[in-house]
């Protein structure tokens, strides 16, 4: 209870002071490590061999202490690292008209990360996409373990039946759900909707808008921005949609893909995330993240609505993402230490 109150006090203080979001993240990571260290020191027992799992950017101080106690350490890498940061900055530079509000991670954010890597006995990444990015930073292959994010759905996926033909009266309903920013591919998705302006397609964009949307896109009658919505409403958006679109430039995993498939909703995804979408089984993979590629894929669905019904029947949470399988895989690697 005391830790919970301290956390609430920390968050309230930073909101009232108007601290920059990136600076808040840095200070939150330090705050967490300080609290975690106090808890770990209270249960320390030199005669007991332990293994500590901690997430990236908030693990260095914890790992230093754990190593001093002779513990094994496992780092959970939450994203593709600096490679993703560089890519995001390139997107911002190439799309200044979108005025993205979320800044790129500073050098200070990554300052302790290299030491976290060195202190870890192995590093867990959630996708081969993240593993590839870490290799570019010099992380050796034998130190990486690709283990997906676990996800448990309530009940089985309910198959969606698409109409025989899409029309103005019954358009193809496409859903984007998540942070509305450059990295997530919102620009390319809007460009696709511009190309499809005269086709029976509607796009619902659900999530916090972190960019300025130029007027040319705000004027599209087929696009609706809903902003942030309560978690309790997410299911209704999945239930009303025909196709979930996830055109990300980079994601360590992309959990919304699983949420959509758990609801029986086929997914149109980029290849820059966890490989949970199987082309032609539960959705479609984009050749590249571009307006033309997205529009081409959506147009293919418009021409053959039965694909959606077929893909919906292939939906559901993949077996390898089930909680027991993920836990078993992680335990197997820890036991090997």
Q: Give tens-digit pLDDT for 166-184.
A: 999 999 999 999 999 999 9
Average pLDDT over every residue of 52-67: 95
pLDDT at 106: 66
Strands 283-285 and 267-269: parallel
pTM as predicted: 0.90
Task: Kindly provide the residue ranges of all beta strands, DSSP E only, lying in the chain, ordered along the sequence.
Answer: 51-55, 72-76, 122-125, 144-146, 172-177, 201-206, 223-227, 243-246, 267-269, 283-285
Give the least confident one: 35-49, 213-227, 264-278, 323-337: 35-49
Give CA–CA dist 60/21, Å, rounded. 21
3 pLDDT exceeds 60?
Answer: no
Give CA–CA dist 242/266, Å, rounded. 7
pLDDT at 11: 45
145 pLDDT exceeds 60?
Answer: yes
pLDDT at 19: 47
User: Domains plus CATH for the chain?
Assistant: 2-146 (no CATH), 172-320 (3.40.50.2000)
pLDDT band for 20, please (50, 70, 90 cuts). low
218 pLDDT exceeds 60?
Answer: yes
Give CA–CA dist 214/64, Å, rounded. 48
pLDDT band for 156, please (50, 70, 90 cuts). confident
Percentage of the chain surpassing pLDDT 90? Answer: 81
What is the average pLDDT score of the chain? Answer: 91
Percentage of the chain surpassing pLDDT 70? Answer: 91
102 pLDDT exceeds 80?
Answer: no
pLDDT at 75: 98
Decide: 243 and 162 in contact? Cβ < 8 Å: no
Q: What is the pLDDT of residues 226-252, one digit of tens each?
A: 999 999 999 999 999 999 999 999 999
9 pLDDT exceeds 80?
Answer: no
Q: What is the pLDDT of residues 114-140, one digit of tens each?
A: 999 999 999 999 999 999 999 999 999
14 pLDDT exceeds 60?
Answer: no
Region of 179 please: left (phi>0), alpha (psi -120 to 50) or beta: beta
Tokens 């992680």, located at residue: 330
Cβ atoms within 10 Å, residue 81: 23
């Amino acid at each position: 209870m005391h830790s919970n109150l301290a956390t609430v006090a920390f968050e309230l203080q930073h909101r009232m002071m108007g601290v920059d979001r990136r600076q808040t993240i840095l200070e939150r990571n330090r705050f967490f490590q300080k609290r975690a260290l106090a808890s770990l020191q209270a249960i320390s027992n030199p005669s007991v061999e332990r293994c500590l799992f901690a997430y990236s950017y908030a693990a260095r101080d914890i790992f230093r202490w754990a190593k001093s106690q002779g513990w094994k350490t496992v780092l959970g890498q939450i994203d593709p690292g600096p490679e993703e940061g560089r890519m995001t900055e390139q997107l911002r530079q190439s799309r200044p008209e979108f005025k993205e509000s979320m800044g790129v991670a500073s050098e200070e954010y990554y300052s302790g990360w290299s030491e976290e890597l060195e202190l870890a006995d192995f590093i867990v990444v959630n996708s081969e996409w993240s593993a590839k990015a870490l290799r570019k930073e010099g992380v050796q292959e034998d130190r990486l373990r690709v283990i997906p994010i676990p996800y448990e759905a309530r009940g089985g996926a309910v198959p969606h039946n698409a109409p025989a033909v899409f029309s103005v009266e019954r358009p193809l309903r496409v859903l984007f759900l998540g942070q509305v920013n450059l990295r997530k591919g919102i620009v390319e998705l809007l460009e696709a909707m511009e190309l499809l302006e005269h086709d029976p397609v509607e796009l619902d964009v659900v999530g916090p808008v972190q960019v300025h949307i130029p007027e040319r896109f705000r004027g599209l009658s087929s696009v609706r921005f809903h902003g942030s919505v309560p978690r309790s409403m997410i299911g209704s958006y999945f239930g009303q949609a025909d196709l979930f679109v996830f055109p990300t430039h980079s994601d360590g995993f992309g959990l919304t893909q699983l949420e959509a498939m758990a609801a029986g909703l086929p997914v149109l995804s980029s290849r820059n995330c966890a490989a949970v979408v199987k082309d032609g089984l539960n959705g479609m993979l984009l050749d590249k993240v571009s307006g033309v590629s997205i529009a081409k894929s959506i147009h293919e669905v418009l021409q053959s609505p039965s694909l959606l019904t077929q893909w919906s029947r292939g939906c559901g949470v993949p077996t390898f993402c089930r909680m027991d399988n993920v836990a078993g895989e992680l335990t197997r690697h820890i036991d090997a230490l």
